[in-house]
Structure 1
Amino acid sequence: MSTYSIKDLELLSGIKAHTLRIWEQRYSLLNPKRTETNIRYYDDSDLKLILNVALLNDSGLKISKIAKMSLEEIRAEVIKLTDRSLTHDDQIHALTISMVEMNEDRFDKILTSNILKIGFEQTMLHVIYPFLNKIGVLWQTAAINPAQEHFISNLIRQKLIVAIDGQVVDGEGKKFMLFLPEGELHEISLLFATYVIKSKGHKVIYLGQSTPMEDLISVYSIVKPDYLLTVFTTTPGMECVETYVRDLGNNFKEAQVLVSGFQIIGQDIELPANVQQLNYLGEIKQVLEQMNEFV
């Protein structure tokens, strides 16, 4: 069982620690435990409760009313709210609850519902990506454990692969080679880019995770892509990323190289003439729309 500080609850729920303490004192909403050294902490049941309470409170339900509800009533209200709500924040909050509970069925239902309502691409851009940014911060602050992050990432990855398989490319579109640098394993952004590119009628050569530079050069010489696309999430490090980008520009001079990710966005990096930075993956659509014959 995981343990959480009140600061962890604040990060996960969005409710200020001061407010949580008031709710605890006034409504006995939380039941903190204490370590042998008398330090207060909260457990998984406290976290799940406060996430549900926060969602209902954000939707307009008064805390005094929520405090009188049973756990079953609170959970039922949350499910009803997320089933009918179209706000992205509510959906992101509901996904966070599903992650903490490791509830695959609920997570899948929320995703499927959003895809039916607003489409796969909009779900990725406005629900999944903000959610992933949120859990990325939570993981770095140790508010969630790696198993929870892996659990969610794999479910999203499965959805992306199914969506990509549904895209059939019939035309003579441009050729894109997609890859992650050697040591980089976070491929959700790369998979989403694959989906968008294929949905616009272009071809994708997908090399995936941790691709050594020598392999890139070898495949490039065979397939001669028009574009290369990569995403830097954790690798290479800040001290090496500029050199790596320069090598991409030099090794693939006949192609347009598209780069994105946390390690490059907002950095003061000099880009080679044939390298273009995407500040978010949604910008890949703008690149595709500039190809007049495939607008």
Structure 2
Amino acid sequence: MDCLEGKYNINAASKMLGIQPGTLRAWERRYQIIEPIRNESGYRLYTDEHIKILKWIIKKINQGFTTSQAVSLLANNQLFSDAFNTKEENEITSMSVELLDSLLNFNEYKAQEIINSLFSLFTIEKVMLDIFVPLLEKIGDLWESRKITSAHEHFASSIIRSKIVTVFYNSPQNHYFPKVVAVCSPGEWHDIGLLMFSLVLRRKGFDVVYLGSGMAEEDLNKTLENIHPDFLFISCTMKENLTNVLSLVTSITLNFKNLKIGIGGYAVNSMKQSDKEQFSAFIVGQNRADWEKWLLNRSG
């Protein structure tokens, strides 16, 4: 019998492993270590590979690791990581294709159903950064190459944006953590990238005031005087706005001496080398690793 064929029900698996069925269910929900096969009646069936993985986790716990630490070790263990990563990547690819198809067919019900499934399977950060970002880039490429209409682009973007907004405002704030103002540069109207970045900050505990797009420069200055934030993040996606953004950063730096300013967005990638060197301290980067490094260097 193939080691990938489900053959142990939850009671049999719990006896083999020496743990309670409730613990197995809890690990499945909380850590997503494995995904048991379901039979026609909906009951869990564990494979030999599942048992092997769970025994490894239990061994680490018995060695003194917490369950979460053991799971982290599992993700970095070469014995298992390739299989896990391949399965997860395949699932993400399949669901992303299905989501894109539903969005381009204006099927809101199906799109929302898939999005809800994604959030039930993966972490918020995983969905936002590894699924939504590539999906939006794909939609943008299709629109620029005129393979889809502006109606398709607007519909798809609005569905995804609405989900990000919901998650953002449902995420807890900590008023004892540094206060952040996040805003698009004057003249900008595309704010999804900034919204995702703001969500990551809020999930890290920052007290984020999200201003989005359409903010006039004079209003921004008044807002900074009123809020007294620790950080200001400005997004710029349009190349023609770069000069104004850099001028704005210079002006704000002079007026708010202790304010830590970061700039990001698609247009920042196209900055002249001389500007990149001059404003290197302000450039946040284009991915989460860059963001983490930038924040770490300016915290404390």
TM, length-normalised to structure 1: 0.63
Mark the CA change 1:85 to 1:243 in structure 2 (over 3 Å): closer, same or farther: closer
* Distance (whole Å) between structure 1 residues aligned to residue 166 and residue 94 of structure 2: 25
1:220-240, CA deviations, whole angstroms, 9 ceiling, x for partnerless residues? 111111111121112643565
> Shift of residue 273 of structure 1?
7.0
Mark the CA change 1:240 to 1:221 in structure 2 (over 3 Å): closer, same or farther: closer
The reply to whether residue 259 of structure 1 matches residue 266 of structure 2 is: no
Name the structure 2 match of 1:219. 223
Q: Is the 8 A contact 2:284 2:291 kept in 1?
A: no
1:128-166, CA deviations, whole angstroms, 9 ceiling, x for partnerless residues? 100111111111111111111111111111111211222
Name the structure 2 match of 1:47. none
Name the structure 2 match of 1:279. 286
Of residues 191, 195, 198 in structure 1, which corresponds to 2:202?
A: 198
* Distance (whole Å) between structure 2 residues aligned to residue 194 and residue 262 of structure 1: 16
Mark the CA change 1:126 to 1:274 in structure 2 (over 3 Å): closer, same or farther: closer
* Distance (whole Å) between structure 1 residues aligned to residue 289 and residue 197 of structure 2: 8
Q: Is the 8 A contact 1:238 1:263 kept in 2?
A: yes
Name the structure 2 match of 1:31. none
> Shift of residue 95 of structure 1?
2.1
Name the structure 2 match of 1:174. 178
Q: Is the 8 A contact 1:178 1:207 kept in 2?
A: yes
Mark the CA change 1:245 to 1:263 in structure 2 (over 3 Å): closer, same or farther: farther
> Shift of residue 90 of structure 1?
2.2
> Shift of residue 286 of structure 1?
4.0
TM, length-normalised to structure 2: 0.62
Aligned-pair identity in percent equals 25
Name the structure 2 match of 1:9. none
> Shift of residue 242 of structure 1?
4.0
> Shift of residue 182 of structure 1?
1.6
1:150-208, CA deviations, whole angstroms, 9 ceiling, x for partnerless residues? 11111111111211222122451001011111221111122222222222221112211
The reply to whether residue 87 of structure 1 matches residue 94 of structure 2 is: no
Q: Report the RMSD for the aligned CA atoms in angstroms.
A: 2.6
Q: Is the 8 A contact 1:182 1:210 kept in 2?
A: yes
* Distance (whole Å) between structure 2 residues aligned to residue 242 and residue 170 of structure 1: 31
1:37-80, CA deviations, whole angstroms, 9 ceiling, x for partnerless residues? xxxxxxxxxxxxxxxxxxxxxxxxxxxxxxxxxxxxxxxxxxxx
Mark the CA change 1:291 to 1:245 in structure 2 (over 3 Å): closer, same or farther: closer
Q: Is the 8 A contact 2:263 2:283 kept in 1?
A: yes
The reply to whether residue 210 of structure 1 matches residue 214 of structure 2 is: yes
Mark the CA change 1:228 to 1:164 in structure 2 (over 3 Å): closer, same or farther: same
Q: Is the 8 A contact 1:227 1:257 kept in 2?
A: yes
Of residues 139, 143, 147 in structure 1, which corresponds to 2:147?
A: 143
Name the structure 1 match of 2:123. 119
Mark the CA change 1:91 to 1:251 in structure 2 (over 3 Å): closer, same or farther: farther
* Distance (whole Å) between structure 2 residues aligned to residue 170 and residue 133 of structure 1: 32
* Distance (whole Å) between structure 1 residues aligned to residue 255 and residue 144 of structure 2: 34
> Shift of residue 249 of structure 1?
3.8
Number of residues of Structure 1 aligned to a counterpart in Structure 2: 210
| More contact order relative to length (CA 8 Å, sep ≥ 6) | 1
Name the structure 2 match of 1:100. 104
Give the letter aligned to residue 91 of structure 1.
Answer: M
* Distance (whole Å) between structure 2 residues aligned to residue 288 and residue 241 of structure 1: 20
Q: Is the 8 A contact 1:200 1:288 kept in 2?
A: no
Give the letter aligned to residue 210 of structure 2.
Answer: Y
Q: Structure 2: which 5+ runs fail to align?
A: 1-87
Mark the CA change 1:127 to 1:273 in structure 2 (over 3 Å): closer, same or farther: closer
> Shift of residue 264 of structure 1?
0.7
* Distance (whole Å) between structure 2 residues aligned to residue 265 and residue 104 of structure 1: 33
Name the structure 2 match of 1:184. 188
Q: Is the 8 A contact 2:185 2:245 kept in 1?
A: no
Name the structure 1 match of 2:163. 159
* Distance (whole Å) between structure 2 residues aligned to residue 182 and residue 141 of structure 1: 27
